[in-house]
Amino acid sequence: MDLDLWLIAGAALWGGVAGTLVPRVAYRLSVEPEQPWRDRCPDGHPIGGWVGRARCADGRPYGPGTVLVCAVTALVCAGLALATGTRPELLVWLLIAPVGVLLTIVDFRVQRLPDVVTLPLASLALVLLGGAAALPEHAGKWLTALLGALVLGGAYFLLFLVNPNGMGFGDVKLALGLGAVLGWYGWPTVVLGTFVGFLFGGLYGLGLVLARRAGRRTAIPFGPFLIAGAFVGLLIGAYAA
């Protein structure tokens, strides 16, 4: 097995292992605004901390399905490894990929992007990319990542001011981290990832309307599509770099 296959296999293994830790956190964070984080399983047993498998005291699982979450996280990490190769920024993508999966789950469940995740994500992305920029053979620019975070966050903030019902403030905070990630590979990647995110969200909303499961003014979770668009943009940006 050559180096690239080992790299992809290792990334997939990492994603699968990291995915086992996502369901418990997703369950605890999936609450309405102003509500405290969940500290008990559906059967009322106390949840001991944030790290660990999502299982009740009697062994029954709770929260999103662990097998599916692990499979998705593994596929995401494998795709990033395939596109990025051995460049040092791959470590950054592998570390933040499970966070993207986590935010996707939480937003779909309660239409909320918790500050406790989105704001550290932006800071973590910039710090880690700063480290990657100091290593040889990287393919991006840290300054563009910083500007990407500021520009995309600012653009989403303007959209929030214009139409608060269509763009939540959590999406604005998420845009800071996504802008940093996409900006690493340059402005075309920022534009592509943003466009694809809006395209995915629009198609999802249109599908709900056509299926008569939502109206034109029905609010939908937009964060998952922003994350999916950023993932597509990152794959293409990394592959083309």
Q: Give, in degrees to the nearest 5, the angle at Cα 122 between 202 and 108.
A: 40
| CA dihedral sign, ordered 48, 109, 17, 117 | negative
Total number of domains in the chain:
1
Tell me the pLDDT of the chain (241 aa) as tens digits. 576 899 999 999 999 999 999 999 999 999 988 899 999 888 888 888 898 888 887 778 888 899 999 999 999 999 999 999 999 999 999 999 999 999 999 999 999 999 999 999 999 999 999 999 999 999 999 999 999 999 999 999 999 998 877 788 999 999 999 999 999 999 999 999 999 999 999 899 888 888 877 666 667 889 999 999 999 999 999 999 8
Range of the domain at 100: 3-240
- Rounded to whole angstroms, what are the CA distances from 118 to 54, 115, 169, 174, 215? 22, 5, 11, 5, 29
pTM: 0.94
One-letter amino acid for residue 54 of the chain? A
How many residues does this entry show for the chain? Answer: 241
C-alpha–C-alpha distance, residues 156 and 169, integer Å: 9
C-alpha–C-alpha distance, residues 46 and 151, integer Å: 42
Which residues, 6+ apart, have CB-to-CB distance to 63 below 8 Å? 23, 24, 26, 27, 30, 54
